[in-house]
A and B are shown apart, each in its own frame.
Chain A
């Protein structure tokens, strides 16, 4: 593909709001995980909660969108000057020429979970103040963003579970390549809710301790939440130091709904496709941000795939011990983390992980390390066997 410029980007997770909080935490090895105390949830697990999400007030004209997921969407958009950069792009290109491609797994389903506690005792009806379209529906964050900026062009939500907001980069890149838009707001937002907390617990995929990706004793995920965005544009001569999307690769496991292909076959196909798309070979990658959920099956399968392609020559880490698994936001969060490694010259470690699983033969970083990264690859894999790898680079 023709490289695309990330002309603005931002990430908000339990590590804090924006790039500075994120880079400080990743460099120092700080984790944002805390024992789960979300809403009325009673589970022996840890979580990555974003502070002060519910203090966000949506504009009055967009009141029907009010829910935790859109509050976090607005919070993310209004961080690191991202919304300003979007408005400048709209002024430059026009409101029909800026597309929206956002990933989520559960959008604002928490709003429906809460509404089901307030059903009419006679009729069973949901309360009048519950708005399905603008909160629960998977498109709600994309429609909110479109209305927030007064945009009139194409918009879509991509919902492939935990690969959602990696795949948005690929979908937006296609439309930019075709010239059907001039800029794209890409990203992902997912927020804590009962469905995912109790759901992953029902699959015995949550850990009672903070998650520890690639550790020999890893035993499950810590669920997090997050909002991460990038503004993508075509750019013939990017300024030195600019962050570029160089390649995207997508594949399907065709294996199982909630377990990865045991040999990591789909994961390997996605990484190979991303390398092809970028015109790079495995030796060109300086850092890999792993999917690394900290389940026994995911890390083993991904480790096999990474090892098969890169042997143990490329430093890699999962940052989910710091952020938790932000599910549908993870792809975008981790793409932005890759952007930080490219601009700042460091590779993040893996808070929580103590003893790397000896069965996985990759160069796994326990601690943050300084080093020049010119090209970084990030993996995102989801339920249903949906895989996506992205390659980001820095303009010379």
Chain B
């Protein structure tokens, strides 16, 4: 009835509190380096022209950082890649500024703030920065956003037979929204998924729906990241990839539906 949703991973990008890139995260997830919590560090997006670089918001810097890292890891040309962005929310600081001003008597909001308020703002800047005219998906599924993005990205890879870059990411709201939605910091994971195995393939993943609980990470600090930042629900998968271990894991998705993922390392 169902066709298996399988893809090969050729590149990984990562950024989270205390984990500025995939090589660092990989070392920590392999147990070679201790995890030290620290605010997320966002690199200046060198791909943007200087004026845009200065104006770029935190979610734009985040998605460019992890997306470009994954593409570089795979040696892929970003201008050719289809993309799937998935985030539990848009730019929280921009949203707060708009809501704050709309609650005053002066409602003449800035046009830039308005166009930056759309959920697909980071995806739009990605297109402008990379020149990619391929399909670009932008998903939200609250805490299940990583899983929703993975499902659609795998669907595109399997049916359209083209490399697809999944960029799952989140950012924080300032107060007073932070109290209602306490995502602690920016973080994200990018996976370059391809339909065929190549010499660059790191592993294959196959998704099936399941109802098994996700296994917590043994490191309490990493587990805290997994449960507080929706994109980092992917950490059990990344731990397997970091350790080059095959096997089956379960990721949190949308209760009671979970994502069972079979991993085969190359």
Contacts and interface: CB of A to CB of B under 8 A. Distances in A.
* Bound together: yes
B151 A175 contact: yes
Contacts of A175: 151, 155
Interface string B231-266: 000000000000000000000011011000000000
B120 A174 contact: no
B67 interface: no
Interface stretch (B37-45, B108-116, B214-222): B108-116
Interface string B175-205: 1110111000000000000000000000000
Contact of A132 (B123, B124, B177): B177
Range, interface on chain A: 35 or more
A383 to B, nearest CB: 5
Contacts of A273: 135
B103 A113 contact: yes
A361 to B, nearest CB: 24
A117 B99 CA distance: 9
A13 interface: no
B252 to A, nearest CB: 14
Given A152-B256, A252-B133, A178 B5 contact: yes
Contacts of A255: 127-128
A125 B176 contact: yes
A131 B142 CA distance: 13
B253 to A, nearest CB: 8
Interface residues of B, number: 64
A119 interface: yes
Given A156-B140, A180-B5, A386-B138, A112 B99 contact: yes
Contact of B136 (A126, A143, A178, A252): A252
Contacts of B256: 152
A126 B98 contact: no
Contact of A254 (B108, B111, B131, B145): B131
A25 interface: no
Contact of B118 (A126, A146, A156, A161): A161
- B100, B118, B120: residue with the most chain A Cβ atoms closer than 10 Å: B118
A116 B99 contact: yes
Interface stretch (A60-68, A199-207, A222-230): A199-207
A237 interface: no
B130 interface: yes
A124 to B, nearest CB: 5
A143 B142 contact: yes
Interface stretch (A28-36, A84-92, A133-141): A133-141
Contacts of B95: 109, 112
A384 B133 CA distance: 11
Contact of B151 (A152, A156, A158): A156
B120 A383 contact: yes
Contact of A253 (B90, B107, B133, B209): B133
A82 interface: no
Which applies to chain A's interface (DSSP): helix, strand, loop or mixed? mixed
A210 interface: no
A307 B29 CA distance: 55
B1 interface: yes
A385 B180 CA distance: 31
Interface string A152-167: 1111111111000001
Interface in B144-159: 144-145, 148, 151-152, 155-156, 158-159
Contact of B132 (A177, A204, A254): A254
B114 A195 contact: yes
Contacts of B118: 105, 159-161, 382-384
Contacts of B139: 156-159
A199 B101 CA distance: 12
Nearest to B119: A159
B171 interface: no
B125 interface: yes
A116 B103 contact: yes
Given A161-B118, A199-B117, A126 B176 contact: yes
B112 to A, nearest CB: 8
A381 B256 CA distance: 35
A116 B134 contact: no
B141 interface: yes
Contacts of A258: 111, 115
A167 B98 CA distance: 27
A132 B108 contact: no
B120 A195 contact: no
A130 B151 CA distance: 31
Contacts of A105: 118-119
Interface in A253-300: 253-258, 265-266, 269, 273
A257 B109 CA distance: 17
A231 to B, nearest CB: 19
A81 interface: no
26 contacts: A112-B177, A124-B175, A125-B179, A131-B180, A133-B181, A152-B257, A153-B209, A154-B257, A156-B139, A156-B152, A159-B118, A171-B152, A174-B156, A178-B158, A179-B2, A180-B3, A180-B155, A195-B102, A198-B109, A199-B109, A199-B115, A202-B108, A254-B131, A257-B124, A257-B128, A384-B124
Given A124-B175, A159-B139, A175-B155, 20 more contacts: A109-B95, A125-B175, A126-B176, A139-B88, A146-B254, A157-B141, A159-B118, A159-B120, A160-B118, A160-B119, A160-B123, A178-B5, A180-B209, A195-B99, A198-B114, A202-B109, A252-B135, A382-B118, A382-B120, A383-B115
Interface of A: 96, 105, 109, 112-113, 116-117, 119, 123-126, 130-133, 137-140, 142-143, 146, 152-161, 167, 171, 174-175, 177-180, 194-195, 198-200, 202-204, 250-258, 265-266, 269, 273, 382-386
